[in-house]
């Protein structure tokens, strides 16, 4: 199984989905990651503000930050290869890069719980 790691810029909480005005892009990314996790797919995510040691410990990210600065974030790595910088993956990119069906990423319109016909 492929391994994805996302290194986020400094945010107020682990997902950035907090406070009075939630960024719709961060909400989308958080939803996609939760759907992946609910389907047994491992995605690690680190926030520069709350988990700086992860940025120090990862040699690729450490080097990238030293050379490019924090404006390079967010950075997405899949199987030890940097696949995207400066913006989050599009929903379609998540399943292509992880080799999963796009059905995994679809959320029920009824209540967002991945239930068929809105029934859980």
Domain that holds residue 50: 4-107
User: What is the pLDDT of the chain when averaged over all its residues?
Assistant: 84
Structure confidence by residue, pLDDT tens digits, 83-109: 999 999 999 999 899 998 877 656 544
Could you tell me if residue 112 is inside a domain? no
The crossing angle, in degrees rounded to 10, of helices 91-98 and 24-38 is 30
- Provide the pLDDT for residue 119: 45
Could you tell me if residue 119 is inside a domain? no
Could you tell me if residue 84 is inside a domain? yes
Matching residue, tokens 């005005």: 21
Write out residues in the chain with pLDDT < 50, as ranges.
108-112, 114-120
Could you tell me if residue 40 is inside a domain? yes
The CATH number of residue 36's host domain is: 3.40.30.10
**Domains in the chain, number:** 1
């Amino acid at each position: 199984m492929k391994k994805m790691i996302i290194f986020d810029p400094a945010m107020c909480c682990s997902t950035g989905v907090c406070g009075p005005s939630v960024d719709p892009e961060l909400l989308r990314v958080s939803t996609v990651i939760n759907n992946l996790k609910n389907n047994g797919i491992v995605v690690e995510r680190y926030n520069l503000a709350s988990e700086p040691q992860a940025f120090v410990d990862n040699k690729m990210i450490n080097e990238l930050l030293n050379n490019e600065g924090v404006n390079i974030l967010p950075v997405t790595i899949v199987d030890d290869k940097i696949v995207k910088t400066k913006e989050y993956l599009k929903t379609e990119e998540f399943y292509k890069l992880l080799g999963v069906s796009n059905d995994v990423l679809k959320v029920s319109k009824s209540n967002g719980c991945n239930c068929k016909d809105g029934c859980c």
